[in-house]
Amino acid sequence: MKERFSESDEVPAGTVAHAPVITVRKASGPVKGVALVLHGGRANSFEPVRARHLSPARMIPFAALIHRRGAGHGLEVWTLRNRVRGWNGQEMSPLQDARWALAAIRKRHPGVPIYLVGHSMGGLVALCVADDPQVRAVVSLAPWLSETTPAEPVTGRRVLILHGDSDRWTSHRQSLRYAHRARPLATELHYVTVTNAGHFMVKKATLSHELTASFVLKCFAADTGAAVHPDGTLPARELLASDQPLSISV
């Protein structure tokens, strides 16, 4: 069962031109954790995000797989659709939307662990809002990073970064530099090079879905004691057992 609500539901009609929208895939019992899924976008655009746009559509398989594996154990999955498509400089539009979504989770489910999953611009957002007090772990896929991306928000968090070595949209080199900066701060940080994969990892989509879901479920099980079947966490457990956590290739 799904639920959908918007920031516009909280204010008088006509107050906001565009508002972020949340789709909730419900847990089948008491909620023990929430995964928040964040989509990509553009450097500059105030065009409203529509459900038909590819950036939010690309995140549906991630949300669906996490929900399928975790709902029975109390893991709810929230998918955020930003109000506008761009980052927009100092406006940092998607950052505001993610903070709103996190506040909504805290209000509805105080104290439960939150797991962030983001692609491209959403990967940047996930790393930046990891300082929310309920966030426990982050999966950042092909994130849009730079030398100025702050590492401090992932302090005490578990982090998985996946980046294709053929990405021409965002820099896998910048992602690796960030990983080196952030690793001393994070509880654990793994950087996975997805070989022969571009920005959307189309050729290795199943792999990226499985690694993401299994990492989220592994962290969720560790945090809550949920009896997740070992098969649900196997890809992350096997791959991330490497003694070189920033030099993993798939």
Q: pLDDT tens for residues 151-186? A: 999 999 999 999 999 999 999 999 999 999 999 999
Tens digit of each residue's pLDDT (9 = 90 or more) over 65-74: 999 999 999 9
Crossing angle of the two packed helices 205-224 and 230-239, in degrees rounded to 10: 110
Q: How many residues does the chain have?
A: 250
Distance (Å, whole) CA 234 – CA 107: 33
Q: What single-letter amino acid sits at 236?
A: A
Please, what is the Cα angle at 224 between 223 and 229, to 5 degrees?
A: 100
**How is the chain split into domains, by residue range?**
2-8+21-249
Residue 95: which residues within 8 A CB-CB, separation 6 or more? 125, 128, 129
Largest Cα–Cα separation, the chain: 55
- What letter does residue 9 receive in the DSSP assignment? G
Question: How would residue 221 be classed by pLDDT, with cut points 50, 70 and 90?
Answer: very high
End-to-end Cα spacing for the chain: 35
More confident residue, 60 or 12: 60
Look at the domain 2-8+21-249 and name its fold: Rossmann fold (3.40.50)
The pLDDT > 70 percentage for the chain reads: 97
Tens digit of each residue's pLDDT (9 = 90 or more) over 94-128: 999 999 999 999 999 999 999 999 999 999 999 99
Distance (Å, whole) CA 36 – CA 139: 10
Which residues, in sequence order, are bridge partners of residue 161?
140, 191
